[in-house]
Structure 1
Amino acid sequence: MLRIADARTGRLVEIPSAHRHLLRICVHLPVIDNGIGAVHLRVLLLGDVLARTAELRGLQALTVLTAPDLPQEQVQALDRVMAVLGIHPPATVRAHDPSESPSAAADVHVLAHGADQQASVGGVRIDVGQVATAPPEEGGPGSPDAVAPEGTDPLAVRMMLLGHAYRTPVMVTGAALVEARRTLRNWRQLVADWAQEPSRPIPADLLRQAHAALADNLGYPAVLDTLRSVERDAAWRGTRTCRPVPSSRRSPTLTASSGWTSRARSATSTRRHHDLGRLPTPRRAAARQIRLA
């Protein structure tokens, strides 16, 4: 069951309705004035996470992107942004008049907070929180359009935005980007280390936790928290002295022969998407799970 809070009522709604296996998603892009900014990235990213979560639940997701009539250079820039952030391209792109309320038929409408929409429009409404950027003197990128300045790992931007519940406003700071890059660097190093060990299935309890969090109003911050706990376990395990432990005293969460290492492998979530094809099959599966988040 996939449940989403309708922004108009605050109630959790099961989507899609019973006996249907197709989820229709309409992502409404805000007006683009001076380039693609952080709020545009966040709206696109939320639509992508919703579609991936639906597919995890065995549903088929059909995403339609509605946007103002854009010049060709902005269309190309939009394509590049979606590609570097690992966002699946929509099935259809439609132009709409910004002065008109969105009216595309969909099970879920994804909009930036504050966007106009008539109450009569069907489907669940998801309001995505606004994104602000700290000024340069406070360590921020300085403008919404510079949320991913040149040289910034795009997946660090993705991770930073996904670290907050989708309705929560986000302040982009230099410190937040640095922390996201540090976490990604650590996770990639762990993945490289685990690549030297035998592959094992992802532990069922971790999969259940991640799937349950995503199905409950897209709780992807909880999925990232799970990965951070795996990282902490890995760091603690690395500080232990290499002293044999009698088999009768071994904990299944501390021994390499147990599922511990495969639990940690779920941290492959933020490896670059073009690296996934080079991972052994179980790790590739783990990476796909967390690419949702």
Structure 2
Amino acid sequence: MLRIIDARTGEPVDAAPARRGLTRIEAHTEGFDVTALRVLLVADLLVRALELGGTPVWALLDEERRRAELRAGAAALGIRPFEEGRDAAAGLGEAQVLHVVREGGAEPDGVRVAVAAVHSEAPPEEADPAALRLALLSGRRSVPVRLDAAVLAEAHDTLVRWRRAVAGWARQPSRPIPDEVRAQLRTAWEDDLDVPGVLGVLRRVASAPDLADGARFETYAYADRLLGLDLAHDLGTPA
């Protein structure tokens, strides 16, 4: 069960209702900048994590300004579209509502998932979108992110390395994900959406000496359902 820290109280709450009723996720971006995109990315991760746990989710963008820029930026980062208009929520009967907000920003009623600011020293529009997504995923959402050329280059190199590895592992017979590895992944992302913990599991899996390549492939493919990094991008390319 995904547990998330409520910024109002500092205490963890269940992100999904006990009976798997609908969870509504509202993203409050307050304009358009890289921090707004990080807010949308965290909301996207919440949607993905809840869906992996079998919870129906409705994602809503609560923003009146610069919607076109937000949607274009989100699409480039592989963030799935959000619907608009809270009035449409009436009568849906959702059992849980999560508000994803920037730290120190809007304070809507209900559970608030706070996202720390992004301080960018490099034009994010010039970065590879997948590398930018990975850079934004590499820190806990409560910790400010500093983007510069070195951070984006490191994320790009990691992404290239992992995609090549996944393509190579895919050439071997498939093997099931070890139970302990699956448990480590779920424990990480269900603990207040600890994505850096998920990335740490992937790093260990890549170098584990006793793991079959087919199991490495399945592990990365499974984790990518949360991460959205298109890790299978290089499948079918020449070795």
SS of 2:125's equivalent in the other structure is: coil
Q: Name the amino acid aligned to 1:69.
A: R
Aligned residue for 1:222? 197
Aligned residue for 2:142? 167
The 1:289/1:61 distance shift into structure 2, 3 A limit, reads same
TM-score scaled to structure 2, two decimals? 0.84
Aligned residue for 2:84? 93
The 1:292/1:60 distance shift into structure 2, 3 A limit, reads farther
- Listed as ranges, the gaps of 5+ residues in structure 1 are 96-104, 135-140, 238-252, 254-258, 269-282
User: Over aligned residue pairs, what C-alpha RMSD do you find?
Assistant: 2.4
Could you say which structure has the greater relative contact order, defined with CA pairs below 8 angstroms and 6 or more residues apart?
Answer: 2
1:59 is aligned to 2:55: yes
Aligned residue for 1:24? 24
Overall identity of the aligned pairs, in %? 37
Aligned residue for 2:158? 183
Question: Superposition pairs for residues 41-190 of structure 1, below 5 Å?
Answer: 41-70=37-66, 75-90=67-82, 92-94=83-85, 107-117=97-107, 121=109, 123-134=110-121, 141=122, 146-149=123-126, 152-190=127-165
Aligned residue for 1:240? none
Q: 1: distance between equivalents of 2:96 and 2:202?
A: 33
Q: Which has the larger radius of gyration?
A: 1
The 1:210/1:202 distance shift into structure 2, 3 A limit, reads same
The 1:162/1:261 distance shift into structure 2, 3 A limit, reads same
Give 1:266 shift.
4.8
Q: 2: distance between equivalents of 1:196 and 1:52?
A: 27
Runs of 4+ in 1 over 4 A off after TM superposition: none
Q: Tell me the number of residue pairs that the alignment of Structure 1 and Structure 2 aligns.
A: 223
Q: 2: distance between equivalents of 1:30 and 1:185?
A: 33
TM-score scaled to structure 1, two decimals? 0.70
**8 Å CA contact retained: 1:25, 1:109:** yes
Q: 1: distance between equivalents of 2:229 and 2:190?
A: 12
Q: 1: distance between equivalents of 2:140 and 2:166?
A: 26
Give 1:109 shift.
0.4
Aligned residue for 1:201? 176
Compare 54-63 and 105-114 and name the one that shifted more: 105-114
**8 Å CA contact retained: 1:202, 1:286:** no
Q: 2: distance between equivalents of 1:42 and 1:225?
A: 20
Q: Name the amino acid aligned to 1:49.
A: L
